[in-house]
Amino acid sequence: MPKSYVRRAYRVAGFGGLTVFAGAGIVLDMYVDDDSVHRPKIRDKFTSSWSSGLLKLFDVKTVVGGEPGIRGVGRDRGRIVVSNHRSIIDIGVMLELFGGAVLSRGDLANWPIIGPAAKAAGTIFVDRSSKSSGASAIRQMVERLDAHDTICLFPEGTTYEDDEVHTFKLGAFVAAKRGNVPVIPVGLAYPLDSGAAFGGETLMQHLGRLADSKSTRVWVEIGEPMELGEGEDARVFAERCRQEVVRLVAIGREKEQRTRK
pLDDT at residue 214, rounded to an integer: 76
Q: 23-50: per-residue pLDDT in tens?
A: 666 555 555 555 555 577 777 887 888 8
Q: 145-200: per-residue pLDDT in tens?
A: 999 999 999 999 888 878 999 999 999 999 999 999 999 999 999 988 777 777 66
Long-range contacts of 38-42 (CB under 8 A, 24+ apart): 39/122, 40/72, 40/73, 40/100, 40/122, 40/147, 40/149, 41/72, 41/73
Q: How many CB atoms lie within 10 A of CB 167?
A: 11
Average pLDDT, the chain: 84
1: confidence class by pLDDT, cuts 50, 70, 90: very low
The residue among 20 and 215 whose pLDDT is bigger is 215
Query: Is pLDDT of 72 > 80?
Result: yes
Which residue, among 144, 138, 130, has the nearest Cα to 177 in the 3D structure? 138
Residue 143 zone, left/alpha/beta (φ > 0; ψ -120 to 50; rest): alpha
List alpha helices for 169-230, DSSP H.
171-179, 203-212
pTM: 0.86
The residue among 15 and 71 whose pLDDT is bigger is 71
Distance CA 129, CA 168 (A): 15
Crossing angle of helices 39-57 and 89-98, rounded to 10°: 130
**What fold does the segment set 3-258 form as a domain?**
Glycerol-3-phosphate (1)-acyltransferase (3.40.1130)
Most confidently modeled of 8-12, 37-41, 44-48, 94-98? 94-98
pLDDT at residue 247, rounded to an integer: 98
Which residue, among 112, 121, 115, has the nearest Cα to 151 in the 3D structure? 121
The residue among 229 and 241 whose pLDDT is bigger is 241
Query: Is pLDDT of 223 > 70?
Result: yes
Query: Is pLDDT of 84 > 90?
Result: yes
The residue among 22 and 70 whose pLDDT is bigger is 70
- CA distances (Å), 260 to each of 43, 169, 197, 246, in order? 39, 34, 19, 22
